[in-house]
Structure formats: structure tokens, C-alpha cells
Copies of this chain bind each other. A is one copy, B any other.
Amino acid sequence: MAAFDIDDIVQSLQTVRQQWREVQKRSLEPGGRELPAREALANIVETLKGVLFPMRLGPHDLRQESENFYVGHALDSALHGLFAQAQLELQYRDRHLSRDDENIATRAGVAVRAFAARLPEIRTLLDSDVLAAYHGDPAAGSVDEVLLCYPGVLAMIHHRLAHELYKLDLRLLARIVAELAHGETGIDIHPGARIGKGFFIDHGTGVVIGETTIIGDHVRVYQAVTLGAKRFPSNAEGHLEKGLARHPIVEDEVVIYAGATILGRVTLGRGAVIGGNVWLTHDVAPGANVTQAISRNEGVQLRVAATVS
């Protein structure tokens, strides 16, 4: 068989890479990769799942009487892995933003230490999520089935870890951890979202929860629920404003059924129930029960003026 024209294509690909790098003002200096690695984060999260739930998500031959040895070793390994990735993120970010000179390793160490200190609290929160799923789903056979099987619980393990990274300003690591769960479960929770205890996502595929969302305790949501932004304001130069509070506030004990879409910085009051497929862009009073019909009528008025502009 005749050969393929490898040389030509290699040249052309180099040309388009260089165009990209010039436009992006990237260094053309020799040097290695400087980005955190998805595979490394996947390993770290997998290890941390064993650290948090050793007898259920740890190694199969573990025994209760030796848990602490495993937990200690796995934790040590995960934290040092995270430390390396945190340094990569900090270096990468500095290259772009040329921040202060503070030592990268010191900053990464501080962040990882703070992250580690949060793990017991994360386990407690996840226990409350497991119980919420067990009590909220008539098909759930046991708390252990919930931990082993429910995608909503898997998504929350990732989220509660990712959220700590986000708070420690390791946003790229946080995002990678979140997207690993998104890929496995179809549940897309931005690591910035603040979520109280006892949170239960049933079925989960298609759920989207935005960056500035705030969710209280004992909230329950079903598949394809969106807690999103209504619009993205731009600043004077025409760039999107970043960091504005633009997603809903969901108070304690709210239930949101499948396919409901809540957009913008609205508040769903404590104990409100949002029906399936409801489309909501305004506040809901505590205890209110909103179904499609009602929301549509109100919604039409708000939106008619803006249509066919």
C-alpha cells in the first residue's frame, strides 16, 4: 500500500498551531505541558471516594479493623497528587495573568491543607445526601444501594469536592472534577454552586445547576431540571460580565420536578413545590405549589413584551 502524505499534513498542522499560538499570544519557547491533567484528577477523586467511604467505595479486600491504614495511605497519596495538580493550575494561571510573585508551592500547599481539613465535613454532608435519596425514592432498597448505584449521589461526591476546590480558587481543577461527574451521570453542577445538606437528585440526566446558584437544606430535584441564568450582561467593552449573581436561590425543603426550568436570580421560598416542565423566571413564595398552567399564565405576561423584537 502506498504511504500517506504524513510530512505534508504534519507541516500544515504545524502552521495552524502556530497561527493559534500567535493569536493567543502563547510562548513559542521550548517547554513541556503546563496544564492540569484530567486523568490525574480522575485518579485523585477515585482515591478520595475510597478515603471517604472506605468499606463501600474502597478496595474490595479492605477490612473494617484496618480501615485507618488504608484511609491514611490513600489520603496521603491523593493529597500529594492534588498538590502537584494545584501547582500546575497556579503556574498556568500566572503565565496568563502575571500575578504576584508569591511562591507557587506555598500557595498550593496552603490550599491542599485547607481542602483536606474539609473532608470530614464533606463526608457528613454526603451521608445526609445518601439518607435523603434513601428516604426520597420508594425504589431505594438500602442506603448502601443508594451509595453504590445512584448517579445523583456520585454527582454530589464530585460536587462537594469540587466546590471546596472552587472556594480555594483552584477553579480549573474544580471544573475538571465536575465535568468528570457530568460525563458519567449527565448531571452538570457548576462547582461554584452552594448546596446545603440532604440534597437529592433523582434520575439526574439533564440536570444543570449554574455557578451562582444557592440551594438550602433538604432540597429535592428530578431529571432535566435547570437552575440557570436568564441573560448574561456585558460590560462597557462588550465582554460578558463574569461573577455576577445570576442563578436562582432555592430555599430549604423545596421540591422541583422533572424538566422544570428556573432562570435568573429568583428565589424559590422554603417548602415550595415546582411542578414538572414548569418554566419560571420570577420568585415563588414559601410553600407555594407551582404547576405548568399557573406558571405559563404569569410567564406569558412577563415575556410577551420581549418577543419578536
Contacts and interface: CB of A to CB of B under 8 A. Distances in A.
A3 B30 contact: yes
Interface residue range, chain A: 35 or more
Nearest to A285: B308
A144 B7 contact: no
Interface string A14-29: 1111011000100011
A175 B30 contact: no
Nearest to A62: B33
Interface in A264-300: 275-277, 279, 287-294, 296, 299-300
A258 to B, nearest CB: 6
A139 B190 contact: yes
Contact of A308 (B54, B205, B289): B289
A236 interface: no
A97 to B, nearest CB: 10
Given A6-B75, A64-B28, A69-B69, A291 B306 contact: yes
Chain B CB count within 10 A is highest, among A116, A148, A241, A309, for: A148
A253 to B, nearest CB: 15
B261 A10 contact: no
Interface string A229-251: 10010000000111110100000
A176 B149 contact: yes
Contact of A2 (B5, B37, B109): B109
B292 A303 contact: yes
A98 interface: no
Contacts of A120: 9, 12-13, 15-16
Contacts of A36: 148
Chain B CB count within 10 A is highest, among A38, A67, A229, for: A67
Interface string A80-123: 11010000000010001000000001000100110011011001
16 contacts: A3-B63, A33-B55, A33-B63, A35-B56, A38-B149, A63-B80, A66-B73, A69-B75, A96-B142, A139-B192, A139-B242, A182-B205, A224-B224, A275-B303, A277-B277, A290-B307
The 4 closest A-B pairs by CB, nearest first: A69-B72, A12-B120, A69-B73, A66-B76
